Chains A and B, each alone.
Chain A
Amino acid sequence: MSDISMITFNNVEKYYGDFHALKKINLDIKKGEKVVLIGPSGSGKSTLIRTINGLEEINDGQLLVDGYDLASDKTDINKIRKNVGMVFQHFNLYDNKSTLENIMLAPRIVLKRPENENHKIAMELLDKVGLADKAANMPNELSGGQKQRVAIARSLAMQPKALLFDEPTSALDPEMIGDVLDVMKDIAQDSDMTMLVVTHEMNFAKQVSDRVIFMADGEVLEDSKTEEFFKNPKTKRAQQFLSQVEHH
Chain B
Amino acid sequence: MITIAGLFTFDNFRYLFIGLMYTLSVSMISTIFSFIIGSIFGIIVYEKIPYFSKFVSISVDIIRNLPLLLIIFFVYFALPKIGIHFSIFWSSVVAFTFFEATMISEIVRSGINAVDIGQFEGARANGMNNIQTMIFVVLPQAYKKMIPPLVSQFISLVKDTSLATGIVLPELMYRGQIIYGQNSNYMVPVFVILAIIYFLVNFGLSRLSKIIERKMA
Contact = CB atoms under 8 A, between A and B. Distances in A.
Contacts of A88: 118, 121-122, 125
A105 B128 CA distance: 9
Most buried by A among B121, B125, B137: B125
A55 B124 CA distance: 8
A154 B121 CA distance: 13
A164 B119 CA distance: 17
A85 interface: yes
B212 to A, nearest CB: 16
Given A105-B136, A109-B132, A81 B141 contact: no
A85 B125 contact: yes
B197 interface: no
A2 interface: no
Interface in A168-205: none
B127 interface: yes
Interface string A68-104: 0000000000100110111010111111110000000
A65 interface: no
A142 interface: no
Chain B residues touching A, majority SS: helix
B69 interface: no
Interface string B104-148: 000000000000101101111111110010001100110010000
B118 A81 contact: no
A118 interface: no
Most buried by A among B118, B140, B141: B118
Nearest to A95: B141
Contact of A96 (B121, B128, B132, B137): B137
Contact of A92 (B122, B127, B136): B122
A213 B4 CA distance: 90
B126 A155 contact: yes
A86 B137 contact: no
B122 A94 contact: yes
A106 B121 contact: no
A1 interface: no
B129 A78 contact: yes
B140 A106 contact: no
Contacts of B125: 53, 55, 81, 84-86, 88, 92, 155
A212 interface: no
Contacts of A84: 125
Given A94-B119, A95-B119, A85 B141 contact: no
Contacts of A97: 137
A106 B126 contact: yes
B118 A92 contact: yes
A92 B118 CA distance: 5
A93 B118 CA distance: 8
A154 B126 contact: yes
A155 B126 CA distance: 6
A144 B57 CA distance: 40
B126 A85 contact: yes
A136 interface: no
A119 B194 CA distance: 56
B65 to A, nearest CB: 33
B124 A81 contact: yes
Contacts of B123: 94, 106
Contacts of B140: 96
Contacts of A110: 126-128, 132
Contacts of A151: 122
A110 to B, nearest CB: 4
A81 B126 contact: yes
A158 interface: yes
Interface in B130-173: 132, 136-137, 140-141, 144
A111 B123 CA distance: 14
A158 B124 CA distance: 12
Contacts of B141: 95-96
Interface of A: 53-55, 78, 81-82, 84-86, 88, 90-97, 105-106, 109-111, 151, 154-155, 158
5 contacts: A88-B122, A92-B119, A92-B122, A96-B137, A158-B127
The 7 tightest CB contacts between A and B, nearest first, are A92-B122, A86-B125, A92-B118, A82-B127, A106-B126, A110-B127, A96-B140
